[in-house]
A and B are shown apart, each in its own frame.
Chain A
């Protein structure tokens, strides 16, 4: 019952939503609307699981001497954001809660990802070498695409035309084939889930 009933639920709901697409009646649209609505509610109540996991993990790290300071920084930040938003008004710009968002969260997140610029430069220098025909094709294409940023008069105009051609013809064809494969794989996985063949979402007993 612990595994069979969930598989049955997946099969029934999945099959219902699949055939609902082909039956444009009032009842079918009623089912569609309420299925989406209820799934949103389930999702909203499920999200705090992740929040609780993070808080619980860091509370337990408070006992570890090396991690105590950093865990308290994390929990301190968490608590400050809770305490500065005890009213719905505080989610508007101009509140102290949103000032912390603007002056703490935004710069740190933005800077964390800006480090990637250094890593991509390092990767371009250390790994981007024409070791084989395939690597050479990749390198040359990337070179032409990157070259469009260098303003060199008529050479730039020619380069822009080549870049447009690369993006709209061979790149487009390559990505089309790639995503057709991904789409087929995703469809097959969804069918396997509905038919009960794929059960990894249930975890282990």
Chain B
């Protein structure tokens, strides 16, 4: 590592330890690092937004390339700023309405296709054979149906309906358990990454 990198990584190591100090208790070093990252992150995002988004999609199209039709969405975007005014905040609803209308309109078809139709198709087209694959298919069909029954709250979960929904919640618990097991791996990975960084820095330093 060069001297500049040693100093930079030294600052990184110091800030890492500031955050780790929170494990003992909240303290000024942790608060300092927490506020610093909030400020730096906001500043970074501001300049990213300015140079790569505002310049490329607003300034250059209108003032350099003469694409004046972009003035309409630009005005709508500026209208959003009226949210800060108690008297004129209703003006921002026009821009919001345009954005929400488009978002809602495109989402209906894709949500139905992705989350419902393709999933139903995949469930019913699984092979139903007299072997392990067939057993798995049966298990999946029963599991999906019973879990869906569990989420149907318009009818009391009593009698046969109650038994089926109970099977459903057992299946859901398997899903949540799998999720927890994988979450542990993910969280540990985040910690290991910092430990490896500190180890490598100490090795470089000495």
Given contacts A42-B99, A177-B168, contact A186 B37 (CB under 8 A): no
Would A134 and B47 count as touching, CB distance under 8 A?
A: no
Q: Which residue of B lies closest to A195 (CB)?
A: B104
Residues in chain A near residue B102, CB distance under 8 A: 13-14, 17, 35-36, 39
Tell me the bound Cα distance from A117 to B188 in angstroms.
5
Residue A59 lies at the interface, judged by CB distance under 8 Å to chain B: no
Contact A108 B19 (CB under 8 A): yes
- How many A-B pairs have beta carbons closer than 8 Å: the answer is 367
Contact A117 B187 (CB under 8 A): yes
Residues of A65-95 contacting chain B, CB below 8 A:
70-71, 73-82, 85, 88, 90-91
Q: Does B203 contact A (CB under 8 A)?
A: no
Chain B contact residues: over half helix, strand or loop, or mixed? Answer: helix
B27 interface residue, CB < 8 Å from A? no
A81 partner residues in chain B, CB cutoff 8 A: 39-40, 42-44, 46-47
Known contacts A39-B99, A115-B22; is-contact A21 B178 (Cβ 8 Å)? no
- On whether the beta carbons of A138 and B180 are closer than 8 Å, the reply is yes
When chains A and B are docked, how far (Å) is the Cα of A45 from the Cα of B47? 13
- CB under 8 Å from chain B, chain A span 134-173: 134, 137-146, 149, 166-167, 169-173
Total number of B residues with any Cβ neighbor in A under 8 Å: 110
B66 to chain A, nearest CB (A): 16
Q: Contact: B53 with A2, CB < 8 Å?
A: no
Q: Are A111 and B15 in contact (CB under 8 A)?
A: yes
Give Cα A1 to B197, complex, Å: 58
Interface contact A187-B171, CB-CB below 8 Å: no
- CB neighbours of B48 from chain A (8 A): 91
Asked whether B159 is an interface residue with its Cβ less than 8 Å from the other chain, the reply is no
B13 proximity list for chain A (CB < 8 A): 107
A27, CB-defined interface residue at 8 Å: no
Asked whether, in the complex, the Cβ of B140 is within 8 Å of the Cβ of A169, the reply is yes
Q: Does A104 contact B144, Cβ atoms closer than 8 Å?
A: no
A99-119 toward B: CB 8 Å interface, digit per residue (1/0)? 111111111111111111111
Please, how many angstroms separate the alpha-carbon atoms of A186 and B112 in the complex?
A: 9
Checking A138, A181, A193 against B151 with a beta-carbon cut-off of 8 angstroms, the contacting residue is A181
A64 in contact (CB, < 8 A): no
Knowing A103-B8, A187-B112 are in contact, say whether A170-B49 is a contact too (CB < 8 A): no
Known: A81-B44, A114-B191, A142-B178. 20 other contacts (CB 8 A): A7-B97, A18-B109, A39-B103, A45-B58, A54-B42, A78-B46, A104-B40, A111-B16, A137-B173, A138-B173, A169-B143, A171-B178, A171-B179, A174-B174, A176-B140, A180-B148, A186-B111, A187-B111, A190-B111, A194-B104
- Give A contacts to B, CB under 8 Å: 2-3, 5-7, 9-18, 20-21, 35-49, 51-52, 54-55, 70-71, 73-82, 85, 88, 90-91, 97, 99-120, 124, 133-134, 137-146, 149, 166-167, 169-184, 186-187, 190-191, 193-194, 201-203, 205
Residues of B within 8 A of A (CB): 8-9, 11-13, 15-16, 18-20, 22-23, 31-49, 51-55, 57-58, 70, 72-74, 76-78, 80-81, 83-84, 89-90, 93-109, 111-112, 114-116, 119-120, 123, 136, 139-140, 143-144, 147-148, 150-151, 168-185, 187-188, 190-191, 193-194, 197
What are 13 A-B interface contacts by the 8 Å CB criterion?
A: A13-B101, A18-B105, A21-B109, A39-B99, A44-B77, A91-B48, A108-B37, A114-B19, A115-B19, A117-B188, A117-B190, A141-B174, A146-B185
